[in-house]
Amino acid sequence: MFNAGVYDVIVIGAGHAGCEAALAAARMGCCTLLATISLDNIALMPCNPAVGGPAKGHLVREIDALGGEMGINTDKCRIQIRMLNTGKGPAVHALRAQADKKAYQARMKSVLENQAKLEVKQMMVEKILIQDGKVTGIQSETGAVYETKAVVLASGTYLQGRVIVGDTFYTGGPNGQRAALRLSESLREAGISLVRFKTGTPARIDKNSVDFSKMTLQPGDEEPVNFSFLSPLEKKPQLSCWLTYTNEHTHDVIRRNLHRSPLFTGQIQGTGPRYCPSIEDKVVRFPEKTSHQVFVEPEGWDTSEMYVQGMSTSLPEDVQVAFLRTIPGLEEVKVMRPGYAIEYDCVVPTQLKLSLESKGVAGLFTAGQANGTSGYEEAAAQGLMAGINASLLVQNREPLILSRSEAYIGVLIDDLVTKGTNEPYRMMTSRAEYRLLLRQDNADLRLTQKGYEIGLVSQERYEKFSAKREIIVREITRLKNTVIGPTKEVLEKLSSLGTAGIRSGLSLAELLRRPDVTYQLLSVYFPDFPEISPEAAEQVEIDIKYEGYIMKQIQQVERFNKMEQKKIPSALDYGKIQGLSKEAQQKLSSVRPASLGQAARISGVSPADISILLVYLEQYSHRRETT
Amino acid sequence: MTDTISGISTPLGEGGIGIVRISGEDALKVAERITQLKANISFSSILSHTIHYGFIAEPKTGEKIDEILMLYMKGPRSFTGEDVVELHCHGGLIPVRSIYELTIQYGARPAEPGEFTKRAFLNGRIDLAQAEAVIDLIRAKTEAGSRAALTQLQGMLSTKIKGMRHALLEMIAFAEAAIDFPEEDIEEITTAQIAERVGVILTQINNLVSTAHSGKIMREGLYTVIAGKPNVGKSSLLNALLRESRAIVTDIPGTTRDVIEEFINIKGIPLRLVDTAGVRETKDVVERIGVEKTQEILEKADLILMVLDASLPLSKEDRTLLTALKDRPAVVIINKTDLPIVLNEKEVTDIVPTKKIMRLSVVEKEGLQELEDYLVSLVYEGKVTGGEGAIITNARHLYALQKAEGSLSDVLQTVGDQMPVDCVVVDLRAAWEALGEITGDTVGEDIIDQIFATFCIGK
């Protein structure tokens, strides 16, 4: 055994969760080690090199607002950027970028390497060392032991990873990497339950073998925006994506070969995600659909590899080539890497606290796909929170828990640890109850203060943010207090603005609420408009236009918070509470909710159980006060 | 927990007085909205622990509901430790119910089972030793409530609510799928289409709410006709049921009608029993009022209790009445089973093969319990209904329906204001959740499951 060093925090895995965890810990002042199976695969995007989209884009903005890296890294390395859902309301605007896969990795690696207090090492971790229910270190396959107070496990799809292409299968991680074969055992020994999930990716094809003339161009936005609140607005050259469709011939090829699919032969045991079905799954489940969309997307500036979105598959390689060649534009296609499915172990997330720390092993945090999620953004969000909370633990500070009413990150983690998941979990805007409050445009207003308080947000970012916040408040007040009357001059302005006239006095804020009036228009026609940034102007406009709906959601949040604020002591013995149903007793004992609100979200816990719990808790606190 | 709750504190249908209790910050305000005190005492001058005479009136129409005595107890010197107002009215289902419903309409929320006691406990008005009792109370009442909910689940209301929820869920799923998967080629729903469909659901809810408002079933009961030729024991059956139920709510003598009506309450189901005896001064009811008139009465009935005499063979009159039952909800009762049985049951089933036949003896009090149980089961299983929305007997249901109604009206407003779909969904979800409170379905993965079941989604 080789005593290789002592650290405050050790992060296992350098994917999207691991990178955020390690950076957060080091930036919060912890002496941090990032252990990875391969230094050449840091921040790898083994599936589509795309970041963002509905809810996922929200997560990236939140990561950025708290001082994480994903937003900045994507802005630096993007090859295309689009704002989706622009017609569906501000709460669901969704930024989506295509990244240069290699550039993304290279830049992230360089950020890690240059981060003070952070060491990055290549190793295969075999064991998590635990004493008296507390993490004490890790051990690598070469016998090196690293001591630590906190471990963040961000093992992605590498735990007992198994790759399946048709009838061929082998143990391994994505892209021909080694799998972590011993760590699962170490976790089980620590009393942690694991489940087996599955995910997959489509083939990569050679750009030079594609006939783009048969496809529809999908260009990026002409006025690009950024994920990070810090990135400068700049127009950079972009690459286009392409759209084509499957047809009945494609589906015929698939149907004829279904018997060779590992999903049907039973080779695949793990549970796959519903939102990311393989093409064979789609053909079987929706037989009435005669065609499916296929997006052909570039993977970077310096590669001819292209991603075939919508065609994820684990059918044998010859079938993949055959069905791809039925698709317009892909008749002559050359496959550079076949699509595959991968099975892996992950932690049952209901074993975690809201801080992402294991309930059973103090100091052990888990994050990302290792917790049963899917997606780079979901992983990065958990990695960031695990890194933050591991650091706070080491520093003897209270954990940072984001509520469902504060952030998508809060929704994500609460869903995972309260309800668990029986398929790889993907974030969606429909999972958030208070969507109108949790917009991607106001992530900084929601979270940067918190990031600053825990020491992750830099002084520079904080000052920039404070100034913006002040400008917004001042401008909203001004618009509410500026009243215009029905004078000839005003009426002329309104008419050239293209909106109806007024009969009596009206504030500019009320005028802005009209569907046909924008802040920008007002600033052209009315005097004394201050010079404010487009981002601040956007906040002013949304705050005023949607005030009624925002208020409605704030009231919902107030009701919600009453239950969230009723804390449950972690040592509570549910078996002793008379009147609770058996099912509720079991579920509550296993999840150990932190608040009554969280308890109420556990399936199998009824409103009556919650009432009983409430009474019991009052009794409990009363007893403590009197003794 | 500062919201104001209201509940009926006396057992329904029994006793000389009924008490509606309001507790919480706005207790006095809620009372003020629906109460007019005699001598024009103003509410602001009312002292704690005083009693006042007045009456309850519907604020919009001014319609007087009942005379009352109002007690005001300012917190913390009250049972719950909060401001409490008690409205003491005449006993019986109608005034108590009506007053209770008014308190809900005018600012209070229906109290959960055991909630007054719970508040008393939480505010330190009950000592710790009594806590266990509170727990038992909550558990017992909730279970009774959920049993009732279960039986109602199979009923008409729940079918309707489920239908509306499904329609809402479908809209939400369409809107959410388009929001969460903008790059998929899935069918989108426009806000105008949402408004159109919401309009339809809103009409259904309005209908349910308005029948509940008039308290159709609560005030009028299930219109139950006891039919049969003279001397088969109709009156004695009526009296037996009245005695059995021991819960006479009110009686409206048939002064303006040709029939005698009595209210009875069997296990919470109010029946308006109509005995054709009232018109049977002459010997033959069929002759007296004619086949047509009989037909008319039977057509109006929500339920018919057709009484036959076991000691006599089936007569022409019996046959006429049995034939008139046709597809009406009816139970055939063979009375006087204590006497030697002459009636051939086969002849009855030949005419009405699908009707339930029950034998009983009113004189011997045999079979009455079975009859009552069967009547109750008919209602709970939705086989008998008092017309549209008759099962809205529950103020909690009404409250939930009104919440849904409000949210859906907001949807229409939002669409009218040309707001985007994410704002529309806020109220669609609120309506869907409110209706879910009636059927006891919880929120959660449903929307997401619906999205994946409906659309082919995936990259």
Domains of chain B and any CATH numbers: 5-111 (3.30.1360.120), 132-211+392-452 (1.20.120.430), 221-380 (3.40.50.300)
Quick one: average pLDDT of B257-276? 62
Residue with tokens 């007053």: B99
Chain A residues close to B182, C-beta within 8 Å: 53-54, 84-85, 88, 94
Q: How confident is the model at residue B137 (pLDDT cuts 50, 70, 90)?
A: low
Q: Can you give the pLDDT at residue B223? A: 77
Quick one: average pLDDT of B248-259? 34
Q: How confident is the model at residue B291 (pLDDT cuts 50, 70, 90)?
A: low
Which pLDDT tens digit goes with each residue over A473-512? 999 999 999 999 999 999 999 998 888 889 899 999 999 9
Q: Can you give the pLDDT at residue A512? A: 94
Do the Cβ atoms of B7 and B97 come closer than 8 Å?
A: no
What is the torsional sign of CA A459, A465, A468, A473?
negative
Q: Can you give the pLDDT at residue B128? A: 47
Q: Which residues contact A582 (CB under 8 A, 6 or more apart)?
A: none
Q: How confident is the model at residue A384 (pLDDT cuts 50, 70, 90)?
A: very high
Q: Can you give the pLDDT at residue B206? A: 84
Q: How confident is the model at residue B290 (pLDDT cuts 50, 70, 90)?
A: low
Which one has a higher pLDDT value, B370 or B385? B370
How many CB atoms lie under 10 A from the CB of residue A157? 29
Q: Can you give the pLDDT at residue B114? A: 64
Do the Cβ atoms of A181 and A170 come closer than 8 Å?
A: no
Q: Can you give the pLDDT at residue B263? A: 63
Asked if residue B13 has pLDDT above 90, the reply is: no
Residue length of chain B: 459
Q: How confident is the model at residue A395 (pLDDT cuts 50, 70, 90)?
A: very high
Lowest mean pLDDT among A58-62, A124-128, B122-126: B122-126
Q: Can you give the pLDDT at residue A182? A: 95
Q: Can you give the pLDDT at residue B18? A: 83
Rounded distance between C-alpha atoms, residue B398 and residue B438, angstroms: 9
Closest Cβ opposite residue A430 in set B183, B420, B447:
B447
Q: Can you give the pLDDT at residue A196? A: 95
What is the torsional sign of CA B384, B386, B392, B393?
negative
Nearest residue on chain B to A295, alpha-carbon basis: B459
A296 by DSSP, 3-state: which? Answer: strand
Share of chain B above pLDDT 90, in %: 20
Asked if residue B249 has pLDDT above 70, the reply is: no
For the purposes of burial, counting CB atoms within 10 Å of the CB of B86, is it exposed (0-12), middle (13-18) or buried (19 or more)? buried
Asked if residue A289 has pLDDT above 60, the reply is: yes
Q: How confident is the model at residue B153 (pLDDT cuts 50, 70, 90)?
A: very low
Quick one: average pLDDT of A533-556? 92
Rounded distance between C-alpha atoms, residue B239 and residue B406, angstroms: 45
CA angle A282, A287, A288 (to 5 degrees): 120
| CB burial string B250-280: b at 16+ within 10 A, e below | eeeebeeeebbbbbbbbeebbbbbbbbbebb
Which pLDDT tens digit goes with each residue over A62-72? 999 999 999 99
Q: Can you give the pLDDT at residue B396? A: 63
Closest Cβ opposite residue B422 in set A88, A310, A615:
A88
Rounded distance between C-alpha atoms, residue A460 and residue B250, angstroms: 78
Which one has a higher pLDDT value, B287 or A339? A339
Residue with tokens 């005379």: B67
Q: Can you give the pLDDT at residue B8? A: 81
DSSP per-residue string spanning B90-141: ESSHHHHHHHHHHHHHTT-EEPPTTHHHHHHHHTTSS-GGGHHHHHHHHHHH
Residue with tokens 């093969």: B353
> A84, B176: Cβ pair inside 8 Å?
no
Q: Can you give the pLDDT at residue B90? A: 83
Which pLDDT tens digit goes with each residue over A136-153? 999 999 999 999 999 999
Q: Can you give the pLDDT at residue A83? A: 94
Asked if residue B299 has pLDDT above 90, the reply is: no
Q: Can you give the pLDDT at residue A38? A: 96
Asked if residue B92 has pLDDT above 60, the reply is: yes
Helix A16-27 vs helix A376-394: crossing angle, to nearest 10: 30
Nearest CA to B393 among B271, B247, B302, B299?
A: B271
Q: How confident is the model at residue A428 (pLDDT cuts 50, 70, 90)?
A: very high
Helix (H) or strand (E) holding A211: none
Which one has a higher pLDDT value, A591 or A274? A591
Rounded distance between C-alpha atoms, residue A235 and residue A225, angstroms: 9
Closest Cβ opposite residue B183 in set A84, A90, A553:
A84
Q: Can you give the pLDDT at residue B443? A: 44
Which one has a higher pLDDT value, B151 or A177? A177
Which pLDDT tens digit goes with each residue over B413-434? 999 988 999 899 999 998 998 8
Measure Cα distances from A164 to A49, A172, A195, A270 in Å: 21, 10, 18, 12
Rounded distance between C-alpha atoms, residue B370 and residue B331, angstroms: 12
Measure Cα distances from A107 to A14, A22, A72, A499 in Å: 13, 15, 10, 49
Lowest mean pLDDT among A32-46, A120-134, A267-281, A309-323: A267-281
Q: Can you give the pLDDT at residue A389? A: 98
Is this model's pTM higher than 0.80 or not? no
**Shortest Cα distance, chain A CAs vs residue B373, angstroms:** 28
Q: How confident is the model at residue B248 (pLDDT cuts 50, 70, 90)?
A: very low
Closest Cβ opposite residue A89 in set B124, B420, B452:
B420
Rounded distance between C-alpha atoms, residue A539 and residue A550, angstroms: 13
Is the ipTM here above 0.95?
A: no
Asked if residue B331 has pLDDT above 70, the reply is: yes
Share of chain A above pLDDT 90, in %: 75
How many CB atoms lie under 10 A from the CB of residue B421? 25
For the purposes of burial, counting CB atoms within 10 Å of the CB of A526, is it exposed (0-12), middle (13-18) or buried (19 or more)? middle
Q: Can you give the pLDDT at residue B113? A: 61
Which pLDDT tens digit goes with each residue over A79-98? 999 999 988 889 999 999 99
Q: How confident is the model at residue A106 (pLDDT cuts 50, 70, 90)?
A: very high
Helix (H) or strand (E) holding B274: strand B269-275
Q: How confident is the model at residue B262 (pLDDT cuts 50, 70, 90)?
A: low
> A275, B176: Cβ pair inside 8 Å?
no
Asked if residue B459 has pLDDT above 50, the reply is: no
> A435, B422: Cβ pair inside 8 Å?
yes
Do the Cβ atoms of A311 and A203 come closer than 8 Å?
A: yes
**Shortest Cα distance, chain A CAs vs residue B158, angstroms:** 20
Which one has a higher pLDDT value, A263 or B22? B22
Asked if residue B17 has pLDDT above 90, the reply is: no
Q: Beta strand B5-8 with A134-140: parallel, antiparallel or unpaired? A: unpaired
Q: Can you give the pLDDT at residue A45? A: 96
Lowest mean pLDDT among A103-117, A235-249, B165-179: B165-179
Asked if residue B281 has pLDDT above 80, the reply is: no
Q: How confident is the model at residue A102 (pLDDT cuts 50, 70, 90)?
A: very high
Q: Can you give the pLDDT at residue A401? A: 97
Indicate the average pLDDT of chain A: 92
Chain B residues close to A419, C-beta within 8 Å: 444
**Shortest Cα distance, chain B CAs vs residue A72, angstroms:** 24
Do the Cβ atoms of A104 and A74 come closer than 8 Å?
A: yes
Quick one: average pLDDT of A118-126? 97
Indicate the average pLDDT of chain B: 75
**Shortest Cα distance, chain B CAs vs residue A83, angstroms:** 11
Nearest residue on chain B to A201, alpha-carbon basis: B459
Residue with tokens 């209070």: B108
Which pLDDT tens digit goes with each residue over B25-57? 999 999 999 998 887 788 888 899 999 999 899
Closest Cβ opposite residue B180 in set A91, A430, A606:
A430
> B139, A608: Cβ pair inside 8 Å?
yes
DSSP per-residue string spanning A502-521: -SS-EEHHHHHTSTT--HHH
What token pair was written down for B291?
């086949």
Chain A residues close to B448, C-beta within 8 Å: 428, 430-431
Chain B residues close to A54, C-beta within 8 Å: 179-182
> A84, B420: Cβ pair inside 8 Å?
no
Chain A residues close to B417, C-beta within 8 Å: 515
